[in-house]
């Protein structure tokens, strides 16, 4: 008969000891993983994500829904707009464009070096 160890709330089965890793170690491992991916693939993936995000933003502010009446599909929903909603839509459009532009520089830097501090 096999013995099973009882888990308590302080010992979840998925626990990982993050204190054993420094930030530099984690960044170096992520750099090793992402340096294996070809740069053109990362560029295409970034543009694809930017286009999908922009389309979802337009759909959300345009009142389009993907589950009209609780079933999957494409429909339109009635919305009421006030000054706060117009400001939020303008701010979101601007932030999507600006963060996409800034993010393209972060991804497209070939061979970044980590400082050893």
Cα separation, 86 vs 97, whole angstroms: 17
pLDDT per residue as tens digits for the range 88-110:
889 988 998 898 888 777 655 55
Cα separation, 68 vs 6, whole angstroms: 46
In a domain, 5, yes or no: no
DSSP state of 75: E
- State residue 10's pLDDT score: 55
In a domain, 45, yes or no: yes
Mean of per-residue pLDDT scores for the chain = 77
In a domain, 83, yes or no: yes
In a domain, 27, yes or no: no
Range of the domain at 67: 38-107
pLDDT per residue as tens digits for the range 54-94:
898 888 878 888 887 778 888 888 878 899 988 988 998 89
In a domain, 11, yes or no: no
Sign of CA pseudo-dihedral 34, 37, 39, 41:
negative
Q: How many structural domains does the chain have?
A: 1
In a domain, 82, yes or no: yes
Cα separation, 51 vs 53, whole angstroms: 5
Burial of residue 65, with CB atoms counted within 10 A of its CB: 0-12 exposed, 13-18 middle, 19 or more buried = middle
pTM: 0.46
In a domain, 94, yes or no: yes
Sign of CA pseudo-dihedral 39, 45, 108, 113:
negative
The first and second tokens of residue 6, run together, are 């009882």
27 alpha-carbon distance from chain centroid: 17
């Amino acid at each position: 008969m096999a013995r099973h160890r009882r888990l308590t709330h302080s010992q979840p089965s998925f626990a990982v000891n993050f204190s054993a890793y420094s930030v530099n170690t984690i960044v170096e491992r992520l750099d090793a993983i992402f340096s294996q991916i070809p740069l053109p693939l990362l560029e295409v993936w970034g543009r694809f994500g930017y286009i999908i995000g922009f389309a979802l933003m337009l759909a959300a502010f345009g009142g389009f829904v993907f589950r009209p009446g609780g079933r999957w599909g494409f429909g339109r929903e009635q919305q009421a707009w006030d000054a706060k909603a117009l400001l939020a839509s303008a701010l979101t459009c601007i932030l999507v464009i600006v963060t996409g532009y800034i993010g393209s520089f972060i991804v497209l830097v070939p061979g970044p070096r980590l400082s050893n501090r």
